[in-house]
Amino acid sequence: MPLTLNAPISALAGVGSAMATKLAKIGIKTIGQATAYYPFRYDDFSRQAVIAEARLGEVANFVGTVDIIDTRRSPRRKMYLTEAILNDGTGQLRLVWFNQPFLTRNIHEGDRLSVAGKVGQDLLGLVMASPQYEKVSQADESRHTSGLVPIYRTISGVTPKQLRTVIDQALRLAEPVDWLPARIINSRGLLPLADALTDIHRPQDLINIEEARQRLAFDELLLLQLRGQLTRQDWSNRQAAAIEFKEDLTKQVLADWPFQLTDDQRRCAWQILQDIQKEQPMLRLLQGDVGSGKTAVAMLALLNVAAQSYQAALLAPSEVLASQHFQSLVKAIGQRCSIGLLTRTQQYFSQAGQIAGKVTKKQLVDHLATGDCQIVVGTQALLQESVSFNNLALLVVDEQQRFGVEQRQLLLNKKLFHQSDNELVPHFLAMTATPIPRSLALTLYGDLNLSVIKKMPSGRKPVITKAVSNDQRDKMYQFIRQLLDTGQQAFVVCPLIDESDKLAVKAVTVEFERLTAGELAGYQVGLLHGRMSGANKQMVMNDFATGRLQVLVATAVIELGVDIPGATVMVIESAERFGLAQLHQYRGRVGRRGQQAYCFLLSDQDDPLSKRRLEAVVKYNDGQQLAKLDLAWRGPGELYGREQTGFADLHLATIFDQDLIISAKGAAVEILANELWRKNVLTSPAWQTASESLLPQ
């Protein structure tokens, strides 16, 4: 019996409960989800090399016989070292593995082994460290180590080899039923789903990869379109509360703010306030580069809703961001309304501009249920079962593309949008900094109305950006210390290496210790990473925001929306690892009060490609341009994943797949107009698992 894509992952041989738990942590619970765990690039081992010709630095695949294998404990570093000698008849190559003592039970002298990895060198000569390996019999194909080898994002506690085996099994045993009408597939020249899945994981060549990507990316975009179109159909039949524009109140509040709205902000605010005056629920996207002042615009809508005794909610993708929004809301409009903060670890409540210390979750939930809390800011913790509103009239979602299927599923379950038929639905405002060209945004988001903030608040100076090599590090820190001495603040960002964040935590902790003992000894330096508790994160952020900390060493957690008024320096370690648009986002974190700010891109890679990428960030100050270059410059066998696009739902599709987007949009219209297709598609597992939710796109 073939398995369906919906079968639990534990149905595969070799996936025990321990493995199932680890896979579940990153969202792989079914066989279908395993097949949707796409590689992000491929290593090309298609050239099987001979050991005699091995060259330092080359990535290669060798097949030979194991002459010797032995594990010992390295006395100084207390770790296991497994060494082997591989002989392919032309020469011998040393292999080394660390902390895998079980290898000697697995591999024996005389075994034939296929290994793949990078040829390095140490005191004893050429060596391959931690190679991927596979035992081969003469007839066996060597799947993990020859040809185009897929590279997956690592999963904590699961070796790449185990992961490949799981996916192989999933591909072999499952029978993916194509959820699309044959006519849609054929008219667009797309691959059948089963072929696309096989090819994306086990391609024969680079052309396979692109064809597979096209099909799977089409599916992602189609799901997005279907969801969008259905939501709109549904919403056009519903009613929201009409929110009157309180002009005097709004003017008074604006007069208290330390700045004047820009023309763009004014226009966007006006569009939103117009929308919510209608009983037709608003569906609007507010787009503006990092720091363009979207939050300020949203606040005016929140304020007007509260002024009419309705409730409003602001949903943020991280605790740090939620709590920052809470604080700025309290400062900006807290005199006029009650505001709550609800995240997994924190609940605060503010009335008349006073934050009443920490409240319990129950207290806050009660305030929401009775309507005593008029505006609530929160993370997805807001979507828990226990939270309900008295009369929610506006939902604002910040960085909305970050919210994936799972969170939207929660929203759906909450029935925020699907209260009983005669109940009101809230107006909906999404905010995003993702730089999508307007014409494309309209295609992607369909009838969702679009407000764009084009110009930055005046007085903001372009950030001076420099690519810095390792030997210029001292000079850079000397410069930074001078700025710190005048009261300015700096971020040091270390890259996120591992999905589970474990390695990143280690890297950032090491860098923190190195800096506090070295270049930044005597300065107030804080550490922030994803594994810290919400309360601890908050404490560190507060200390940084209030200036008690001068430097913040952090992993990628600071990427989104954080606003630190005094920060003027952004140091990015191993900058070559980041997407260009992402680097631009980081850069947008500094100099937010019109100070001259600096961004230093550190990298010890001196290959021309890394250099060219960093130079682009130095040269261009435009997120859209940079995102385009990133895509244009990706290497063969490199997929352009969601890290770069920032869309939680788009793994293989990008916002630059213009033709695919248009094609998917047309397909969505066709499918919804055809009764049979509509029924089949909307009952397919693909639709069910990927997009039951009707939160607007």
* The binder of ligand ADP chosen from 23, 34, 296, 395 (CB under 6 A): 296
Nearest to 83 by CA among 103, 64, 63: 103
**What length is written for the chain?**
697
Rounded Cα distance between 188 and 546, Å, is 56
Check if the beta carbon of residue 147 is closer than 8 Å to that of residue 199: no
Cite the DSSP H helix spans in 26-102: 31-35
Q: CB of residue 434 vs ligand ADP: minimum separation in angstroms?
A: 12
Told to check if 290 binds ligand ADP by CB under 6 A, we report yes
Rounded Cα distance between 499 and 155, Å, is 6
Told to check if 576 binds ligand ADP by CB under 6 A, we report no
Mark the segment that binds ligand ADP (CB under 6 A) among 260-268, 413-421, 520-528, 548-556: 260-268
Q: To 10 degrees, what angle do helices 658-673 and 438-445 make?
A: 30
Residue placing its CB nearer to Mg ion in the complex, 318 or 351? 318
For 690, what's the count of Cα atoms within 13 Å in the CB-facing half-sphere? 26
What are the residues whose beta carbons fall under 8 Å from the beta carbon of 636, sequence distance 6 or more?
Answer: 44, 206
**Tally of CB atoms within 10 A around 71:** 17
* The binder of ligand ADP chosen from 64, 281, 293, 378 (CB under 6 A): 293
Question: What three-state secondary structure class fits 364?
Answer: helix
Residue placing its CB nearer to ligand ADP in the complex, 41 or 284? 284
* The binder of ligand ADP chosen from 292, 585, 595, 693 (CB under 6 A): 292
Mark the segment that binds ligand ADP (CB under 6 A) among 27-35, 291-299, 362-370, 513-521: 291-299
Site for ligand ADP in 415-434 (CB under 6 A): 433
Told to check if 147 binds ligand ADP by CB under 6 A, we report no
* The binder of ligand ADP chosen from 131, 147, 228, 291 (CB under 6 A): 291
Told to check if 259 binds ligand ADP by CB under 6 A, we report yes
User: 563 touches which of Mg ion, ligand ADP, none (CB within 5 to 8 A by kind)?
Assistant: ligand ADP
Residue placing its CB nearer to ligand ADP in the complex, 12 or 396? 396
Mark the segment that binds Mg ion (CB under 5 A) among 55-63, 96-104, 555-563, 597-605: 555-563
Rounded Cα distance between 205 and 636, Å, is 10
Q: CB of residue 298 vs ligand ADP: minimum separation in angstroms?
A: 8
Provide the terminal-to-terminal Cα distance of the chain, rounded to the nearest Å. Answer: 38
Told to check if 435 binds Mg ion by CB under 5 A, we report no
How big is the site for ligand ADP, counted in residues (CB under 6 A)? Answer: 18
Phi, psi of 278 (to 5 degrees): -95, 160
Check if the beta carbon of residue 686 is closer than 8 Å to that of residue 179: yes
User: 265 touches which of ligand ADP, Mg ion, none (CB within 5 to 8 A by kind)?
Assistant: ligand ADP
User: 646 touches which of Mg ion, ligand ADP, none (CB within 5 to 8 A by kind)?
Assistant: none
Mark the segment that binds ligand ADP (CB under 6 A) among 293-301, 443-451, 595-603, 681-689: 293-301
Rounded Cα distance between 539 and 533, Å, is 10
To which residue do tokens 């020469």 refer?
A: 91
Check if the beta carbon of residue 305 is closer than 8 Å to that of residue 394: yes
Told to check if 561 binds Mg ion by CB under 5 A, we report yes
DSSP 8-state secondary structure symbol assigned to residue 257: S
User: 592 touches which of ligand ADP, Mg ion, none (CB within 5 to 8 A by kind)?
Assistant: ligand ADP
Q: CB of residue 561 vs ligand ADP: minimum separation in angstroms?
A: 6
478: which 2 tokens?
A: 């000397």
Rounded Cα distance between 626 and 352, Å, is 44
* The binder of ligand ADP chosen from 246, 592, 651, 665 (CB under 6 A): 592
Told to check if 457 binds ligand ADP by CB under 6 A, we report yes
Strand partners, 134: 114
Mark the segment that binds ligand ADP (CB under 6 A) among 21-29, 292-300, 379-387, 532-540: 292-300
Check if the beta carbon of residue 79 is closer than 8 Å to that of residue 101: no
- Which spans of this chain sit near Mg ion (rule: CB under 5 A)? 561
* Site residues, ligand ADP (CB under 6 A): 259-262, 265, 288, 290-296, 433, 457, 561, 563, 592
